[in-house]
Amino acid sequence: MSYQVNEKGYYGEFGGAYIPEMMVPNIEELQHNYLEIINSYDFRQEFVGLLKNYVGRPSPLYFAKRLSEKYQSKIYLKREDLNHTGSHKINNTIGQILVAQKLGKHRIIAETGAGQHGLATATVCALMGLECIVYMGAVDVERQAPNVKKMRMLGAEVIPAISGNQTLKDATNEAMRDWINNPVDTHYIIGSVVGPHPYPDMVARFQSVISEEIRWQLEEQTGRENPTRVIACVGGGSNAAGAFYHFLDQENVELIGVEAAGKGIETHETAATLTLGTPGVLHSSRSILMQTKDGQITEPYSISAGLDYPGIGPMHANLFTSQRARYLWATDAEVLDAALELTRLEGIIPALESAHALAALKKLQLKPEEVSVINLSGRGDKDMETYLNHFGY
Amino acid sequence: MKNRINKLFQEKKERVLSVYFTAGYPDLEDTVSIIQELVKNGVDLIEIGMPFSDPVADGPVIQRSSLIALQNGMSIRKLFDQLKDIRQVTDIPLILMGYINPVLQYGVEAFCEKCREVGIDGLIIPDLPLSVYEEDFRSVFENNNLHNIFLITPQTSDDRMRTIDGISEGFIYMVSSNATTGAKSSVTDFQRDYFERVNSMELKNPRMIGFGISNSETFRNACQYASGAIIGSAFVKALGGTEPLEQKVSQFINSIVTES
């Protein structure tokens, strides 16, 4: 079976475009043009050129020697944290800003949770000289202050979303409302593999550079293209989509996503969507969500602003129900331990989001001959305050 | 039985007034009283909002009323319970308006059957697009004599308008501008061009103009270009006042229909 999107925009039973009529012209324009644009020679030249010379790709695939010794297995880190702006998010924003230019859009909007996607969007807007408006939950504006300052220095307007829990879901609602109110010259750069078709597929394609590089880098270093498993954190699921992409049809490669359990999956303060959710429609696609029996979306919680989301991309809902990928969860406490462990063993301070993937190491029975690739999706600069408050340095 | 929406538009061709309110706001048990007051004050059609936690097509006023309604304990189940005897009270056309997810969780078939049972005439589900409606929803809606009301906007192409006109029953909801609900607007040249473009297409369905209709002036202007107009946010805002419900409703409706 195929794990890719079909021509109607579905991954199995998940996906589609449940959009209000006000969004139809923009979404249809994208649906009709995105493949032609991103497969064109001009686009490929520009995209690949910017990823290389501006973002700094390929990002290293690093054999984590001391971490491997500790877990008695072979562990590699895909260093997306070393990208310009500090995370994998820039891969997608470079792609989408080029699409927006081809479609003749002058005004860019985005939602952001941890601020990494907002920062990556503000960056490419500065690069291309386009107006940029970033919606960010008011709570996240507080807890991710360094990124807010960077976005503003880059010339973006950061608008706090004050509805709901004032986190990523609410920022996404506000960005959608902005697009409804500004349908003509605006492109909405969605930051994850969520939203109406074609966003999940488009974003996954831009992020797929991660697994494309893992394959040749691993072969170069070990002589084998396929690891035993790939591990990535999932909120909306874009870094996991990119890390899994070229392994989806390699059924012998185990794919592991790690959700944010917050204070624990037995509490109400959690964001473990696949573990706890049921099928439904949020942000214009059918996927799995955390909701009440009446279909009201429940407010998620995670220490990590980037994973604090009650939905997940339709691609992951399909990988989950088809059991192609396995989804674990990690609590805030496990994540903080994992972040400190990596910092002390390898000298790398990871983002809180990426530390969820690292926390999976304790939950797996790793064998000495096995090769695990962990997608280190972002760096921890933005989380220093949380780390300092917790560890008390 | 004939659908009450069709009956209305056969009998009344102009100045049709449709009013939206969010069920469960300001108080959980206000639903039937608000309907009765609206009927008493001569409203032609009523849209009952089923609150949703994430109403992306709505502006701040309806976002807030939805949040309070949910906090008050409103749900589709509760709403059907409140409406169970409504047809003993009034024969006004009733439309339920809300987002697709709560309907999916209730169960589409069960939802439509319940609508028929209590006497609902139509549905407006902004995030149920045409293609999904045709494939998965049309037959169950039609089997229960429910009209699905589609929206058109200034950006809707002529071709798509004709497709929507072909599949529509009852009326077409003409979104006045590029906006979420409640956005402030008066009729601009841009809107006039759009209204006239739509009128010149000679669609088979009557049109109602909504979004940005908030007072007698905007109502009168909209009525020049369509069979009537829909008022939502402005009425919900009025319901937030401290006066008795009866007074809030009659004052508001009078302010709309009285020529200034």
How confident is the model over A223-260, as pLDDT tens digits? 999 999 999 999 999 999 999 999 999 999 999 999 99
**B181: pLDDT strictly greater than 80:** no
DSSP state of A282: E
Taking the C-alpha atoms of residue A297 and residue A280, their distance in angstroms, rounded to an integer, is 9
pTM over 0.90: yes
Burial status of residue A212 (CB atoms within 10 A of its CB: 0-12, 13-18, 19 or more): middle
Report the C-alpha gap between A207 and A196 in whole angstroms.
17
Residue (of A360, A232, A372) closest to A307 by Cα position: A232
Residue of A nearest to B164 (CA): A21
Interstrand relation of A61-63 and A74-79 (parallel, antiparallel or unpaired): antiparallel
| A163 reaches B (C-beta below 8 A) | yes
Q: Give chain A positions within 8 Å (CB) of B160.
A: 24
- Measure CA B218 to chain center: 17
Q: Quick one: closest CA in A to B75, which residue?
A: A294
pLDDT band for position B186 (cuts 50, 70, 90):
low
Q: Contact at 8 Å (CB) between A339 and A307?
A: no
Question: What sign does the dihedral A377-A379-A384-A389 (CA atoms) show?
Answer: positive
- Which residue reads 């493949």 in tokens? A35
**Which of B101, B132, B150 has the CB atom closest to A280's CB atom?**
B101
Chain A nearest C-alpha distance from B119 (Å): 22
Do A251 and A325 form a contact (C-beta atoms < 8 A)?
no
Which of A177, A281, A289 comes nearest B127 by C-beta? A281
Region B151-171: mean pLDDT is 96
- pLDDT single digits (tens) A69-93: 999 999 999 999 999 999 999 999 9
Q: Chain B: nearest CA to A95, how far in angstroms?
A: 26
Contact yes or no for A294 and B53 at CB 8 A? no
User: Does pLDDT of B213 surpass 60?
Assistant: yes
Interface of B with A (CB under 8 A): 52-57, 59, 63, 67, 70, 75-77, 99-106, 126-129, 132, 150-153, 155-157, 160, 175, 178-180, 183
A296 to B102: CB separation less than 8 angstroms, yes or no: yes
Write out pLDDT tens, residues B110-128: 999 999 999 999 999 999 9
Contact B179 A180 (CB under 8 A): yes
* B137 φ/ψ angles, rounded to the nearest 5 degrees: -120, -25
Is 90 exceeded by the pLDDT of residue B189?
no
B231 pLDDT higher than 60:
yes
Crossing angle between the packed helical segments B189-200 and B216-225, to the nearest 10 degrees: 40
A369 is catalytic: no
State how far the Cα of A273 lies from the Cα of A171, in Å rounded to an integer. 18
Chain A nearest CA to B183, separation (Å): 9
Question: Per-residue DSSP letters for A294-361?
Answer: TSPBPPP--SSGGG--S---HHHHHHHHTTSEEEEEEEHHHHHHHHHHHHHHHS--B-HHHHHHHHGG
pLDDT at B187: 67
With an 8 Å Cβ cutoff, is A180 touching chain B?
A: yes
On the question of pLDDT at B260 being above 60, the answer is: no
Q: Mean pLDDT throughout A161-186?
A: 92
Measuring CA to CA, which residue among A83, A77, A96, A80 is closest to residue A56?
A: A83
Indicate the helix (H) or strand (E) that contains B1.
none
B113 is catalytic: no
What average pLDDT does range A162-182 have in this prediction?
92
Q: Could you give the ipTM of this predicted complex?
A: 0.94
Answer yes or no: do A169 and B54 touch at CB < 8 A.
yes
- Known catalytic membership, residue A372: no
Predicted confidence (pLDDT) per residue in B138-152, tens digit: 999 999 999 999 999
Average pLDDT over residues A183-203: 97
Residue A295 forms contact with B (CB below 8 Å): yes
